[in-house]
Structure 1
């Protein structure tokens, strides 16, 4: 089956055309085409909306389809609220529900809905599936997702911890359990999705029981440009004394903080290089980021009743051996030990980098969110009568 995987941003549309075998087999070349349409809606870009972006994607795909027809489309949607606990086959009601959730993800959900409507208009018979970043975390117990705020803020306004990166955490959980030979339903771990956006998730019985991101993706770990956890009184203080208004504060915390705010660079590779060259700010940024992460790992080790693995994934987690080492060195009190040479290795397959006598195995597991979305799309689209 040919599956078009779509990731609609506020002003961009990223796509992959993938070959997926319904029986689970891996094609020789699963990714047939991929691309990115940027600056959608920006004056002078020539792409006024997501419908026009889709026309551009279609023109690019026609050169590789060779007469074949796309069987279904799978979409990443950031926020599914409490309604969507699993991938869903798209109907107009589902699209409207995604639009109603826009206040929880104002930059992402409206764009996703536009992409869904655009494909429905161009290919009305094509099944579409939505896969939500938040749905994997709907298994969290209430004590994990509740905030200590007045009850009405949850019951009337939906303010609670939702969590994100769920597609990646879900996929990597299964791959890590398989690598260690542990049935998923018996698997407990701490999964570390570390990219420009970063989150840690506590896994018990193969399911999410806690995660660092919260009502929005801002909470938790130090990220490329996001602050992660801060004392809320800092925010009210800066707004009250006139230094920032709400919009400026939002920009400060989401786009001007994290590694960028501390070191001047959002890219972990540059931060590591600068730290090795003796840059004081870069060294401090690495210390803060690795300390914050190690602290969460320790807490989640307790939360799951004893983790059977600590798993690194995503861009930084898979590729930054220096940052992995900085985190793992802090976890020595848990009995974690790793092999320096294994940590430096590069591989496209899941691998164990801990020593044989490490109290907790440490794994590096590549993630592939597009693959996970394509597989979920096939499962639901087959039931909808896709070719």
Structure 2
């Protein structure tokens, strides 16, 4: 039986495994390393985060992105976007050097058993572990607007489902959304000869500014410090103090999670969009139906009334919604025991443990608890260190305290978790 089973081998899963191995735990990592980055993002994309804020985490800080770039003869400079292919290769390099060997099989089910958990792999093998860390990334949580959900997959797709946009050459595509995924996808489509438009509910597009120079007068730094989520004290708090963020009242955290760091495009993609992409603002999709040659969208405009639009394919770059119900990897009985917050996401304690003892979460699904940094690679360092401390504490408590008595509600279970935090 393993001390820790890490499900997922992206930046968070690999970072957690590195910290757990360094702590002397027997750990097994399952999943294809950097799968979402390698197989679900089109060629030609760039990393939106600054290179210095995109390190995977090992306890000694040896396997940083800048070290990898130097090893490869590349540069990773402030305010210079890094190709996604380079970041994906960095993740594979990190996995080879900082992590115990990765089992690339997919886990299909995680269920509770006496003394811990059982994970079932795609080929039917059953693995036992005392604790589990789910670091499944964003793909289980894709969000597609309701009017588009009944269309066949040949006509509508989520932006995270495309590693290659070549199939749309010479076609007509409508991208729904106003964030970086929508705008960069549209730019790439336009540059390959696709007739493309962006359809957004917002009345205007928002663009991130060019980051200020790394070296600048002290008073400018004091007024607007650098952070892993961009300049400014508010971003600094989200990026550098997620532990304090977790201590905010739940209502405050929910409000921030709903509005902080909203849809915006990177400064380096702005000209590409404005020069080559049709943008339809203030428009919301009301209905969508299949017609000859594609899709007919009925949209509502705040300024011009209803309008119809015909397109060959719709790409929904409409983000992700991390809720307990979408965590289908967990057995139904285990899912039902997870206490949730107002937004439907599982609540986690100060060390990323859920209301079910021994089950830990990482990444996007913890953003409601720890803030916007959990939506970015930058949050992996804090998560890995805190979560592995929590795993160590859980391992020391002993199996007798792991099981929630039959019939106990998730609400009462999270109450027990809260009392553990207060005592600790």
Length-normalised TM-score, structure 2? 0.28
More strand, by proportion: 2
TM-score by length of 1: 0.29
